[in-house]
Structure 1
Amino acid sequence: MALTTSFTRLVGVRHPIVSAPMAFSAGGELAAAVSRGGGFGFVGGGFGVRDWLERELPIVAHSTREPWGVGFVCWAAEVAGVEYALEFGPAAVLLSFGDPTPFLQPIRRAGVPLMIQVTDLTEARQALDAGADVIVVQGTESGGHGARKGRSTLPFVPAVVDMAGETPVLAAGGIADGRGVAAALVLGASGALLGTRFQASAEAIVDPAVTRAIVESHGGQTQRSSVLDIVKGVDWPEKYDGRSLAHPYIDRWHGREAELTGETRQAASDEMARGAVPPAVWAGEAVGLIGDLPSAEDLVTTLAAEAEQALDRVRSGSA
């Protein structure tokens, strides 16, 4: 049985379950598997690196006839990267972290639904003014990058739902099983976008050490910090930092980021590159709900069934 919502009707999928466009781990195989399972899979276009797009977009385009999308980071991507991705026929483009305005014209010209991820109410209003067809509401529980001073998913989602009116909203952050998907629907969202849960799936392009860390960790082990970005030399805007599993560099440098410059930063970067310290593992607070490594196609089916069961328990009064 499908959970039909305004989002599933808009993009033509069976389940209101979306995999996040995680840069360099959400490739074509993952997006295709999610879409074959009845959800909506995203290729992580990230900063718009052309070699990555040229490799991964043909994979998803030739691996499924179901709807899929591609996502980009606004502050770092270029319009040319979005235009190139549109040539492969995505069913939606998701823009995150920054001003979406430069990308609106080619997306609208292609007639593709526009999804915009927001981290506060100001961004939500801007997204609606930009004509977003779907708003992704990202709470601070989410893994990877997000607002340094954002809001938790539980109060944030209904606030944006009230603001958005008829525009579908997806909830993101702290969702890793069907109960979370059901909760998103109860909050008024039209679906849920999951990152960390799909990071731990067979099709994700992830170092086995990262997958193992996700499966073996619990939510209390995650931290928000900009340290790992500084070490990697990625200059994210001040507004955003990232949630990851605990890491020796965060323990050492959090609160002392200004000292991570020059030779100090380079030494730390070299140390990470040669494996002298654990890899960075971007993961959300729901990581403790993840204990296996299924195929993404099967995972969508499981999540949908769990969400149905959770909603049935509420309806029957047995919750």
Structure 2
Amino acid sequence: MNTPATPPASNGVLHTRFSQRFGLPLPVALAPMALASGGALSAACAQAGALGLVGGGYGDLSWTQREYTLAQSLTAASPAGARIGCGFITWKLDEDASALDWLLDQAEEALPRALMLSFGDPRPYAARLQARRIPLICQVQRLEQVPQALEAGAEVIVAQGAEAGGHGMNSLNGRATFTLVPELADWLAAHSPDTLLLAAGGVADGRGLAAALALGADGALVGSRLWASAESLAPAGAKAQAQASTGDGTARSEVFDILRRKNWPAPYDFRALRNPLHREWESRIEALRATPEAARAAYDQGVAAGDFNAAHATVGEAVGLIHDCPPAAELLQRMAEQALRLHKI
């Protein structure tokens, strides 16, 4: 059985192997959410003591350049500058790696503190990351994916449960955070004890962080809760819809990927808030795939108008714990304080 993460120090700081290895006051990383985890949010998380991962997402070069540069400029000449990283969707890098190429061509002082790869085979990129001495974080959804990540040289494994917002494994293949994390913790303890583990999916407050540590993780990757922060690039209307919802209000399906013209490979699909357009098509996926034109037009109109009865709000089951949209620093402070209180019980 894996030993739980190191208990918090008496000075009120949560110390774990993850926080110690990456020089973080908090054992938390910002999920690199495409089009939401921009430079301002990544910098705010880094300044608050977390690892701020810019959401390189689909590998758009100009977006990555702008947001990564912004994160660096906002943290220049401060300790937070050493807490900025980036994350990409691996199968999209296989099609176009120009954003990664640009990132790896940076001067030594501008390189990312870590790089996270999700949804695909990370091994083709391992040698280049190792050459620049950039720690690799690999996100997995099943135990069977871990050996491939370790072969790629992953220093950190993210165990993503199906509760997570955005992309993850579909209902036939996905696992729950509460069971996936301790199983991976035990497996890593036996097979790769120096590899760190982060929990992802449903971690939205100090209770979730404390639970992740108790389950054997070294920290947590936080998405939905920071998606609903002041610095997040998520649309204001989407954040408002999330605050009015409960955890019952999300669904995992291919609907929004089809509407957005995103050709995701199996077995991945997308969790977001269910809205009228989603409900219209969620039980008719093949019909939507065959004739998507009218539904796509409705979706596009919703996006243009900021109408989230048609446009999507990318959030996970933790949406039921989202009741406000404060600065990221306030959210992370709340999370840390609550987790510390629970550790002392």
**Do Structure 1 and Structure 2 share a fold, with TM-score over 0.5?**
yes
User: What is residue 154 of structure 1 aligned with on the other side?
Assistant: 178
User: What is residue 46 of structure 1 aligned with on the other side?
Assistant: 57
Shift, 1:151, TM fit: 0.7
Question: How large is the Cα RMSD of the aligned pairs?
Answer: 1.3
Out of 298, 301, 304, which is 2:336 matched to? 304
Separation in 1, partners of 2:27, 2:329: 14
Out of 284, 288, 300, which is 1:273 matched to? 300
Q: Give the secondary structure class of the aligned counterpart of 1:228.
A: helix
Shift, 1:250, TM fit: 2.6
Out of 54, 70, 80, which is 1:59 matched to? 70
List per-residue Cα deviations over 1:46-88 (Å, max 9, x = no partner).
1110110121011011111421210000011233321312323
Q: Give the secondary structure class of the aligned counterpart of 2:91.
A: coil
Separation in 1, partners of 2:313, 2:159: 22
Query: Do residues 187 (structure 1) and 215 (structure 2) align?
Result: yes
TM normalised by structure 1 equals: 0.95
Query: Do residues 144 (structure 1) and 162 (structure 2) align?
Result: no
Shift, 1:298, TM fit: 2.0
User: What is residue 124 of structure 2 aligned with on the other side?
Assistant: 102
240-249 or 113-122, larger mean C-alpha shift:
240-249
Cα contact 1:128–1:164 (8 A) shared by 2: no
91-100 or 207-216, larger mean C-alpha shift:
207-216
User: What is residue 226 of structure 1 aligned with on the other side?
Assistant: 254
User: What is residue 73 of structure 1 aligned with on the other side?
Assistant: 89
Separation in 1, partners of 2:283, 2:249: 18
Cα contact 1:37–1:297 (8 A) shared by 2: yes
TM normalised by structure 2 equals: 0.88
Separation in 1, partners of 2:263, 2:21: 35
Separation in 2, partners of 1:82, 1:297: 28
List structure 1 segments (4+ residues) > 4 angstroms apart after TM superposition: none
**Matched AA of 2:234:** V
Shift, 1:207, TM fit: 1.0
Cα contact 2:123–2:152 (8 A) shared by 1: yes
Cα contact 2:298–2:310 (8 A) shared by 1: no
Cα contact 1:182–1:307 (8 A) shared by 2: yes
Cα contact 1:83–1:106 (8 A) shared by 2: no
Query: Do residues 295 (structure 1) and 323 (structure 2) align?
Result: no
Cα contact 1:79–1:103 (8 A) shared by 2: no
Cα contact 1:79–1:102 (8 A) shared by 2: no
List per-residue Cα deviations over 1:79-118 (Å, max 9, x = no partner).
3321312323210000000111222122111101110000
Query: Do residues 21 (structure 1) and 32 (structure 2) align?
Result: yes
60-69 or 133-142, larger mean C-alpha shift:
60-69
Separation in 1, partners of 2:183, 2:147: 11
Q: Give the secondary structure class of the aligned counterpart of 2:43.
A: helix
Shift, 1:11, TM fit: 1.1
Cα contact 1:17–1:304 (8 A) shared by 2: no
Out of 281, 297, 304, which is 1:253 matched to? 281
Separation in 2, partners of 1:246, 1:85: 36
Shift, 1:255, TM fit: 3.3
139-148 or 270-279, larger mean C-alpha shift:
270-279
| Structure 2: tracts of 5 or more residues without a match | 1-11
User: What is residue 3 of structure 2 aligned with on the other side?
Assistant: none
Number of corresponding residues: 312
169-178 or 253-262, larger mean C-alpha shift:
253-262
Cα contact 1:225–1:250 (8 A) shared by 2: no
Shift, 1:143, TM fit: 0.6
Cα contact 1:179–1:307 (8 A) shared by 2: yes
